[in-house]
């Protein structure tokens, strides 16, 4: 795991405060600025054929609720967690449903969810900001029922190798959100170690564009199942 170049000075150190402040600023334009990664992520989630009917869902990195609204339209209950109050404020306005619980929480700390009570954990464009993926996989395995699903959608490692990361521009100034370089195996290895089985993996580029060295896949999606045994 390697930290990408940002304004932060300390390598390999989790700086949740910096991430929270960046997303607070980004929340003002997050839903309106051009963002091909955000838009493709939403398309992929809706095409993932996840079992949502009657499901209890935990959403990691709910942001402004762009995916929460879709999950809530089908699931029995959604616990939508995010680090940034300003993002959650917008999510609550977008998804006022009573069966959705918005929770301000740092995913690097124990999740406020009971053991073995969830059918689906969904994480979208959030794990690039987390150094220790092993802890996330451990918590996902703890809260999921046996046979439950973990679905992850992240900026593709090939893009990260091109120094791409979450960023936004306001008034001509670009802010890079603290991010960690994770390889595909960095996601898969700790998942397997915590009892997950990899069921599906996709590497997606928008609009069926050709994949080549200059234009690598934009998003990596992984669908795991928690081993029933």
**6 within some domain:** no
Q: How far apart are CA 46 and CA 186, in angstroms?
A: 25
CB 155 within 8 A of CB 166: yes
**5 within some domain:** no
- The number of domains in the chain is 1
Give the pLDDT of residue 11: 45
Average pLDDT, the chain: 93
Residue 12 has pLDDT above 90, yes or no: no
In the chain, % of residues over pLDDT 90: 88
**4 within some domain:** no
In the chain, % of residues over pLDDT 70: 94
**201 within some domain:** yes
pTM: 0.93
Give the pLDDT of residue 10: 36
Residue 127 has pLDDT above 70, yes or no: yes
The predicted model gives 182-195 an average pLDDT of: 98
The predicted model gives 80-92 an average pLDDT of: 98
What tens digit of pLDDT does each residue of 147-171 get?
Answer: 999 999 999 999 999 999 999 999 9
**200 within some domain:** yes
Q: What is the DSSP string of 140-198?
A: HHHHEEEEEEEEEEEE-HHHHHTT--SEEEETTEEEEPP-EE--HHHHHHHHHHTTEEE
Cα separation of the two ends of the chain: 30
**75 within some domain:** yes
Give the pLDDT of residue 72: 98
Give the pLDDT of residue 7: 38
What tens digit of pLDDT does each residue of 31-60 get?
Answer: 999 999 999 999 999 999 999 999 999 999
Query: How is residue 209 written in tokens?
Result: 């564009």
**26 within some domain:** yes
**84 within some domain:** yes
The predicted model gives 16-24 an average pLDDT of: 94
Confidence bin at 2 (pLDDT 50/70/90): low
**Domain of residue 71, CATH code:** 3.40.50.150
Boundaries of domain holding 59? 14-207+215-226
């Amino acid at each position: 795991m390697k930290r990408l170049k940002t304004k932060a000075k300390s390598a390999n150190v989790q700086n949740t405060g910096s991430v929270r402040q960046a997303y607070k600023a980004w929340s003002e334009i997050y839903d309106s600025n051009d963002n091909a990664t955000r838009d493709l992520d939403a398309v992929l989630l809706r095409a993932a054929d996840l079992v949502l009917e009657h499901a209890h869902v935990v959403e990691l990195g709910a942001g402004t609720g762009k995916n929460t609204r879709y999950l809530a339209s089908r699931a029995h209950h959604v616990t939508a967690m995010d680090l940034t109050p300003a993002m959650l404020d917008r999510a609550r306005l977008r998804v006022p449903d009573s069966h959705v619980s918005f929770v301000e929480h740092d995913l690097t700390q124990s999740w406020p969810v009971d053991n073995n009570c969830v059918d689906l954990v969904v994480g979208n464009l959030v794990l690039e900001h987390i150094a220790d993926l092993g802890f996330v996989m451990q918590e996902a395995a703890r809260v999921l029922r046996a046979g439950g699903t973990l679905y992850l959608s992240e900026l593709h490692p090939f893009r990260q190798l091109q120094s791409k990361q979450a960023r936004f521009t306001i008034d001509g100034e670009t802010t890079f959100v603290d991010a960690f370089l994770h390889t595909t195996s960095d996601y898969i290895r700790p998942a397997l170690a915590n009892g997950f089985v990899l069921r599906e993996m996709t590497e997606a580029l928008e609009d069926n564009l050709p994949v080549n060295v200059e234009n690598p896949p934009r998003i990596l999606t992984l669908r795991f199942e928690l081993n029933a045994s």
